[in-house]
Structure 1
Amino acid sequence: MSHSLAAGLDAGLTALALDLSPAQRQTLLDYLALLQKWNQVYNLTAVRDPQAMLSHHLLDCLAVVAPL
């Protein structure tokens, strides 16, 4: 996964006031890589850009964690 995605994830987590461990952050980046890989095979989502996947899928879902 690229450095820019890791930086984008860190920025998003900071904006959401979520404190994740390095292992948790890596797991999220690994998940994003798998989503990209299998999206090419099975068309799981119309979003193709990795940065857009980060904001539209991953960070959007994480936005509900803090209120819980």
Structure 2
Amino acid sequence: MGWTCSYQHGDLCDLLKKTCDPGDKGCVLYGKAVFSNPETPSNAAVKRREETRKRRGLRGEMEDAKFF
């Protein structure tokens, strides 16, 4: 399955006004997708988002718990 960015025209990103680098900060995919290149900033953002969701989930479970 493929995906085409509507902001990419050749090697340029119309949104960021620079060379296209999928997953770079400001990219529509930033923090939403994991890329095979471990240096892509999006990978760290995805990891932070997952950790935040886990913490919020645990916090919610503790608030729902009843202590007797």
Query: For this structure pair, what is the TM-score category when the shorter chain's length is used for normalisation?
Result: 0.3 to 0.5
TM-score (norm 1): 0.34
| Larger CA Rg, structure 1 vs 2 | 2
TM-score (norm 2): 0.34
Structure with bigger helix share is 1
Q: Greater relative contact order (Cα 8 A, min sep 6): structure 1 or 2? A: 1
Structure with bigger strand share is 2
